[in-house]
Amino acid sequence: MKRLILWAAVIFAALTAKADEGMWLLKELNSESIARMKELGFTFPAEQLYDEANPSLKDAVVIFGGGCTGVAVSDEGLIFTNHHCGYGAIQKLSAVEHDYLRDGFVAKRRSDELPADGLTVSFLKSMTDVTDLIVPHLLSPLNEIQREKMADSLSGALTAQYEEDPFIHARIVPFYSRNRYYMVLYDLFRDVRLVAAPPSSVGKFGGDTDNWMWPRHTGDFSVFRVYADGDNRPAVCDSGNVPYRPKYVVPVSLKGVTEGDCAMTVGYPGNTQRYMSSRGIRQRMESENSPRIEVRGVKQSIWWDAMTKNDTVRIKYAGKYAGSSNYWKNSQGMNRALAALEVISEKERLEARLAEWIKGSPARQARYGETLLTLEQAYGASGEPALYMTFFLETFNDGIELIRLANIILQFDSEGTGEEKQSFISERLSNPYKNYDPSLDRKVLSALMRLYAERVPERYHPDIYRKVKEVFGGDYDLYADWLFSNSRFTSFDSLLDLLETADTQTLTGDPAMELALSVTDMGYELSGQMMPAYEKMLRGERELMAALMEMDAERTFYPDANFTQRMSYGTVCGYRPRDAVRYDYYTTSQGVLEKQKPGDPEFNVQEYILDAVRSGDYGRYADGQGLMRVNFLSNNDITGGNSGSPVLNGRGELVGLAFDGNWESLSGDILFERNMQRVISVDIRYVLYMIDRVMGASHIVEELRLAEI
């Protein structure tokens, strides 16, 4: 069943195209949006934004990996994206003896490009409205859970024709709180190779300290190449493949941006909840964000301490730490921003207006009379279970790695053929164990089990807690020592020996599997506690969306983000975060020199990079004053998943890569606040300067379509 999206109420008067707000489907841009774009200065032809029959901008903006965006910038398949989007692939290719995270990487020749095993790039083929093939079959006698299952079943039938094709990815995606459905098709490229990545001192400059903050001085970029077969079709990785020839390539501007310039982003925003009710927002803050902050803070502290002391551990955990920390800090910023903007009070006023509108007509009362009450009951009944569920998920599903490993092993068929067993090991187990440190996980297990016991009532403790109490006197350190000393799952080599000889009974008897099974049982129990409220939320969401769109029929509603291709438009601008403080819209390399700290894991910069910056020799990449601009701000509407999105000027030329948002507007998944919400992008001239002048890869720049005026 798809993840619950908690819709509830529309955002005040800002929900119109005039507000420069919205993550719009390129295929469905309305005349109002197009007129507003032209008013801001866009001259790029609207008909070339999205066209399934002819090359268009939609053909150049890709899904990079499983959760980022990238852009095609050359006729030979070059893809620009963020460093943090390529981080996992760079980490997998790194080792202590060739540490591409620390030192960066450049392929001097095509033959030097490194295949990124498991990395994919998806090009959008088409979007087709299939609402009429799904919604009429969701008859009213069905409850909301049954509706979801029926919709999933119908979706599966529609995409079944593509299941056997490894190079086409088909999705049925719900919009407007499951009132509308699209089939989205992608060409899936599986031969993707690393071309260039700056050192982390550039690509991750500032680390967690600067994450979500402005001013920023981060060169967050990496370069990959997509390969295809001789007929320009997707193919598995093979030495005979050739660079892919994209249908559309985005030209790169050397002119840069100035304040007030129009800016457009196109990408794949992951998830917003702009229509969430006041009760839903409160639950998000108290029952999701707050426990997530606490649990991840404990886990990350243990990881970080080990990473700063050991290069092997640092490389293994770099990607995992970055992913965990990003959402951890986001949750902190979101709670602070939602409180500062008094969003809950605003939503309560909107809900009061909606209630009065419903009362104004017997027909509306018949359709929506129970909607707000349904949501009130759902959130009221689920507050504590949701809190405990978040503690549970963050502790056992996302915290203790050994449990995840045991859950993978649980799917191992001990009676399968030798080929089936080997395939399972190579495809499912080898990489997780490559990036696993059992001594570190032992510390995390002890700390998180203790925290869970302190925060969650005993009735929601997995049965393993009884064993810890009876056998180990409630000492989580003793239990962790025993488990990691006696489990065969903590070492890949010992696990391989076990898998060759063991039957299912032996595997399930391992101490790590005992823990995992105990956790699974409690997970089902907690899910059961949430199910009645979940059914009410589903029904309330669907009805409420319809009510809001009917009440404010004159408004232009855009659908919440759901990792489909979207466009947002705005302008380059700074902002005023608080009284007497004014942030400029760009930063320069001078800030790198001011922030850099020798030996600091977040701000250390190699001397050769500092020397290049100090020289002031920026060539054609300098701005009109001879300065090297690093990052800039715009007021586009983006969220997670947009990382790596191209930022385009009015002519559709690449001026930057979006990589972050600002701290003051981390309420953005729930509320677009026009005066505060800003996108932080790396200036494309800084990207080219680093590639050309610092990394010595002028051949990459020579592939690009450069626009100098």
Q: How does pLDDT run across 87-114, given as a tens digit for each residue?
A: 999 999 999 999 999 999 999 999 999 9
Q: What is the pLDDT of residue 11?
A: 30
| Cβ count within 10 A of residue 222 | 29
pLDDT for residue 8 is more than 60? no
Closest residue by Cα to residue 27 from 565, 478, 622: 565
Give the percent of the chain with pLDDT over 70.
Answer: 96
Higher-pLDDT residue of 122 and 578 is 122
pLDDT band (50, 70, 90) for residue 14: very low
Region 405-418: what's the mean pLDDT?
A: 80
- Considering 126-140, 374-388, 527-541, 647-661, the range whose residues carry the highest mean pLDDT is 647-661
Place of tokens 């493949």: 241
Residue 252 pairs in a beta bridge with 654, 706
Region 107-124: what's the mean pLDDT?
A: 97
Q: Taking the mean position of all CA atoms in its chain, how far away is CA 172? A: 19
Q: What is the pLDDT of residue 425?
A: 82
The span from the CA of 547 to the CA of 351, in Å, is 11
Task: Copy the structure tokens of residue 708.
Answer: 């100098």
Residues carrying CATH 2.40.10.120, the chain: 17-120+190-271+562-707
The span from the CA of 374 to the CA of 422, in Å, is 51
| Cβ count within 10 A of residue 623 | 17
DSSP string, 578-644: ETTEEE-SEEETHHHHHH--TT-TTT---HHHHHHHHHT--GGGS-TTS--EEEEEE-----TT-TT
Closest residue by Cα to residue 315 from 533, 90, 61: 90
Q: What is the pLDDT of residue 532?
A: 87
Angle between helices 476-486 and 511-551 (to 10 degrees): 110
Q: What is the pLDDT of residue 505?
A: 77
CA angle 389, 392, 396 (to 5 degrees): 150
Q: Determine the number of helices (DSSP H) and then strands (DSSP E) in the chain.
A: 25, 22
pLDDT band (50, 70, 90) for residue 59: very high
Higher-pLDDT residue of 514 and 425 is 514
For domain 17-120+190-271+562-707, the CATH architecture is Beta Barrel (2.40)
Q: What is the pLDDT of residue 709?
A: 66
Q: For residue range 253-284, what is the model confidence (pLDDT) as tens digits?
A: 999 999 999 999 999 999 999 888 888 899 99
pLDDT for residue 15 is more than 50? no
Give the percent of the chain with pLDDT over 90.
Answer: 78
Q: Poorest-confidence range of 164-178, 208-222, 409-423, 660-674?
A: 409-423
Residue 243 pairs in a beta bridge with 227
Region 335-343: what's the mean pLDDT?
A: 91
pLDDT band (50, 70, 90) for residue 415: low
| Residues 70 and 222: beta-carbon distance below 8 Å | no
Q: What is the pLDDT of residue 1?
A: 35
Q: How many Cα atoms sit within 13 Å of 276 on the Cβ side?
A: 26
What is the rounded end-to-end Cα distance, in angstroms, of the chain? 51
Q: Poorest-confidence range of 81-85, 384-388, 427-431, 547-551?
A: 427-431
- Give residues with Cβ within 8 angstroms of 698, minimum separation 6: 691, 692
Do β-strands 706-707 and 252-253 pair in parallel, antiparallel, or remain unpaired?
parallel
Place of tokens 């488990």: 483
pLDDT band (50, 70, 90) for residue 301: very high
Do β-strands 679-683 and 629-634 pair in parallel, antiparallel, or remain unpaired?
antiparallel
pLDDT band (50, 70, 90) for residue 190: very high
Region 189-217: what's the mean pLDDT?
A: 97
| Cβ count within 10 A of residue 323 | 15
- Give residues with Cβ within 8 angstroms of 571, minimum separation 6: 20, 40, 260, 261, 262, 263, 634, 635
Does this model's pTM top 0.85? yes
pLDDT for residue 31 is more than 80? yes
Closest residue by Cα to residue 440 from 321, 327, 323, 293: 321
Q: What is the pLDDT of residue 641?
A: 95
pLDDT for residue 427 is more than 70? yes
| Cβ count within 10 A of residue 678 | 28
Q: What is the pLDDT of residue 571?
A: 96
Place of tokens 């390529």: 86
Element (H, E) at 177: none
pLDDT for residue 164 is more than 80? yes
Higher-pLDDT residue of 421 and 650 is 650
Q: What is the pLDDT of residue 10?
A: 30
Q: Is 92 helix (H, G, I), strand (E, B) or coil?
A: helix
pLDDT for residue 20 is more than 70? yes
The set of catalytic residues is: 84, 220, 643
pLDDT for residue 159 is more than 90? yes
Q: What is the pLDDT of residue 496?
A: 86
Region 670-696: what's the mean pLDDT?
A: 95
Average of per-residue pLDDT values in the chain: 92
Q: What is the pLDDT of residue 312?
A: 94
Cβ burial, residue 36 (10 Å; 0-12/13-18/19+): middle
Q: What is the pLDDT of residue 685?
A: 98
- Give residues with Cβ within 8 angstroms of 622, minimum separation 6: 628, 685
Q: Poorest-confidence range of 16-30, 366-380, 399-413?
A: 16-30
Distances (CA, A) of 656 to 425, 644, 660: 41, 9, 12
B/e letters for 358-395, b = 16+ CB within 10 Å, e = fewer, are: beeeeeeeeebebbbebbbbbbeebeebbbbbbbbbbb
The span from the CA of 498 to the CA of 66, in Å, is 32
The span from the CA of 58 to the CA of 652, in Å, is 12
pLDDT band (50, 70, 90) for residue 17: very low
